[in-house]
Structure 1
Amino acid sequence: MKTISVKVKRTGCKKTEIISEDEFVNLNVKGKPENGEANLEIIKFFSKKYKCSTKIVRGLKSKTKILVLQ
């Protein structure tokens, strides 16, 4: 089990992508922050990138999130 700290920089972008990695993984997200759309996009992005299940454990309504990769 691995945890990742993510900071969402922009939403509503053309694609979801990592823009930098330092203390946090800074991310531009395709989805909008309405009805959990951006959160689902983040989960899909990291699940595909690391080929494992991903869950947001903190920050569902915040730009700073903590993800668990299993």
Structure 2
Amino acid sequence: MAAWTTTPEGLRLAIRLTPRGGRDALDGIEALADGREVLKARVRAAPSEGEANAALIALIAKLLNVARSHVELAAGATARLKIVAVSGDGEILLARLRQLLPAL
């Protein structure tokens, strides 16, 4: 199962977030034990009071060149595995994501 899905509303990303990761970045794709794929992301923020989630939203918005208001946490607010929904043209967003991860 892929780490992303295009939808009529935009793009849905499955992400494994590492808070207090030393830098804000996407680190590629990881296969989970159950066969699912996720994007690996790290943020400097701590996982308290939603700081890491806010940093993740800001990171995704910056990398995909969309406004923060177009990025929302769809699932996993208190979990390491999260689903992030990005509104916009799914194909354009996917092309931008693939440019960030050239090994795909």
TM-score computed with the length of structure 2 as normaliser: 0.62
Larger-Rg structure: 2
Give how far 1:13 is off.
Answer: 2.6
Q: 1:13 matched to which residue of 2?
A: 21
Structure having the larger proportion of residues in helix: 2
Counterparts of 1:17 and 1:48 in 2: how far apart (Å)? 10
5 Å-filtered alignment, 1:28-39, equals 28-39=42-53
Are 2:84 and 1:67 aligned? yes
RMSD: 1.1
Determine what percentage of the aligned residue pairs are the same residue: 17
Q: Is residue 63 of structure 2 the alignment partner of residue 49 of structure 1?
A: yes
Q: TM-score with structure 1 length normalisation?
A: 0.89
Of the two structures, which has the highest relative contact order with CA contacts closer than 8 Å and spacing of 6 or more? 1
Shift of 1:66: 0.2
Q: Which has a greater percent of strand?
A: 1
Structure 1 unmatched runs, 5+: none
Please give the alpha-carbon distance, in whole angstroms, between the structure 1 residues aligned to 2:16 and 2:22.
18
* Misfit runs of 4+, over 2 Å: none
**Cα deviations by residue, 1:31-53 (Å, 9 ceiling, x for unpaired):** 10001000000000000111222
CA distance in 2, matches of 1:42, 1:13: 12
User: Where does structure 2 lack aligned partners over 5 or more consecutive residues?
Assistant: 1-9, 31-36, 88-104
Tell me how many residue pairs correspond in the alignment. Answer: 69
